[in-house]
Amino acid sequence: MHVSAETQKGVFLTRVVTNDPVCRDHWRFVLEVRDFPLTEPGQFVQVLCREPNDDATPGDGAYIRRPFSIAGLSRDNRVTRIEIIHRLVGRGTHWLSHLNPGDSVSILGPLGHPFTLAEDRPTAYIVGGGCGLPPLIWLARALRASGKTVIAFCGARSADLLPLTRHRQAQVLTDQPTLAVTEFADCGVPVLISTDDGSLGFAGSAAQAFARYLHAHLEEDSSAVVYSCGPDAMMHATADLAEQYNIPCQVCLERMMACGMGTCQSCVVRIRDASDPKGWVYRLCCTDGPVFDSRVVIWEN
């Protein structure tokens, strides 16, 4: 383990505890690691998707580390358990899906700026879709632990692509959040599930489900805060809606990343800045984000 004293991030050798499929194309694995630094929801780790000691060639895995949000984190004295939920996309994620309990995995982290738990706002709305759902699971637990009322809107393309566990006893409704998702129900958070093809819950995106809910329940909710992660179009729609209702909104952006720590400049996002003649500046998703105030993001979708 090599820890940078300044940022408290480092490279850690972890051990796989479990690795199981969650839905048709998502897997969840849990890593155990000693002395992992203070970490908050919204931060991510860079996972080496190949043998930790294989410096020369990636073999079946990927050469460059891959970024993944932390979906859950628990501590027992010096031992930390980190949960990651990922979609099977390419070389690196396929290598991860073949991990067995006891295997070693190298991670670099914790990286990035976390969500801010708005102290003065007792109600939190979570709006997420697909691969954007993992960081929101851990965020929901933290928000509940800080005493907030939380309602989640979780979307996927279809029922079999929802990377969450269905609570068999709870009903899924199209217009009301229910305790139908184990990961959220465990901390008392009702969820309104949506699918693009209408195969489960509300037919449409999580942002559309959230819009319908807000229209039905609120004129303007100055006591709430919105947190969103998922496809840019969904986050953009959520951010516009939050602005319309005058609710502050934090978005967790996902950009192609190489280094994950501010060196390669591959993850730029355009951020509004009135002090710049252009009215905007480039910021790095990996070190300035991935969480940003939605009002400063210039959406490219």
Ligand X SMILES: Cc1cc2nc3c(=O)[nH]c(=O)nc-3n(C[C@H](O)[C@H](O)[C@H](O)COP(=O)(O)OP(=O)(O)OC[C@H]3O[C@@H](n4cnc5c(N)ncnc54)[C@H](O)[C@@H]3O)c2cc1C
Sites of contact with ligand FES (CB under 6 A): 257-260, 262-267, 284, 286
Centre a 10 Å sphere on the Cβ of residue 210 and count the other Cβ atoms it contains.
Answer: 27
Question: Maximum CA pair distance of the chain?
Answer: 59
Residue 36 Cβ vs ligand FES, minimum distance, rounded to whole Å? 21
Nearest-Å Rg of the Cα atoms of the chain is: 19
**What DSSP assignment string belongs to 132-189?**
GHHHHHHHHHHHHHTT-EEEEEEEESSGGG--S-B-TTSPP-SSS-BS-BHHHHTTT-
Residue 64 Cβ vs ligand FES, minimum distance, rounded to whole Å? 10
Residue 69 binds what, of ligand X, ligand FES, none (CB under 5 to 8 Å, by partner type)? ligand X
Q: Which residue has the tokens 């990922």?
A: 86
By CB under 6 A, is residue 39 in contact with ligand X? no
SS3 content of the chain, % helix, strand, coil (to 5): 20, 35, 45
Instruction: Annotate each residue in 200-229 with x if it binds ligand X (CB under 6 A) or - if it does not, as one string.
Output: ------------------------------
* Token output for 31: 């890593």
Using the minimum distance from each CB to ligand FES, give the nearer residue, 188 or 262: 262
Using the minimum distance from each CB to ligand X, give the nearer residue, 207 or 253: 253
Using the minimum distance from each CB to ligand FES, give the nearer residue, 189 or 267: 267
Contact range with ligand X by CB under 6 A, out of 5-13, 66-74, 240-248, 270-278: 66-74
Using the minimum distance from each CB to ligand FES, give the nearer residue, 44 or 213: 44
Residue 85 Cβ vs ligand X, minimum distance, rounded to whole Å? 6
Residue 259 binds what, of ligand X, ligand FES, none (CB under 5 to 8 Å, by partner type)? ligand FES
By CB under 6 A, is residue 290 in contact with ligand X? yes
Q: Quick one: CA dihedral 258, 297, 291, 68, positive or negative?
A: negative
Name the pairing type of β-strands 79-87 and 191-195. unpaired
**Which residues, other chains included, contact 276 with Cβ-Cβ below 8 Å and sequence gap of 6+?**
none
Using the minimum distance from each CB to ligand X, give the nearer residue, 67 or 177: 67
Q: Which residues of 112-150 are buried (b: 16+ CB within 10 A; e: fewer)?
A: bbbbebbeebebbbbbbbbbbbbbbbbbbbbbbeeebeb
What's the distance, CA 36 to chain centroid? Answer: 19
By CB under 6 A, is residue 93 in contact with ligand X? yes
Cα separation, 230 vs 45, in Å, equals 17
- Binders of ligand X among residues 44 to 63 (CB under 6 A) are 44, 62
- Binders of ligand X among residues 252 to 281 (CB under 6 A) are 254-257
* Token output for 170: 């709870």
Residue 285 Cβ vs ligand FES, minimum distance, rounded to whole Å? 6
Residue 256 Cβ vs ligand X, minimum distance, rounded to whole Å? 5
50 exposure class (CB count in 10 Å sphere: 0-12, 13-18, 19+): buried
Residue 266 binds what, of ligand X, ligand FES, none (CB under 5 to 8 Å, by partner type)? ligand FES
* One residue of 41, 92, 128, 231 binding ligand X per CB under 6 A: 92
Binding residues for ligand X, rule: CB under 6 A, are 44, 62, 66-69, 85-87, 89-93, 131, 134, 254-257, 290
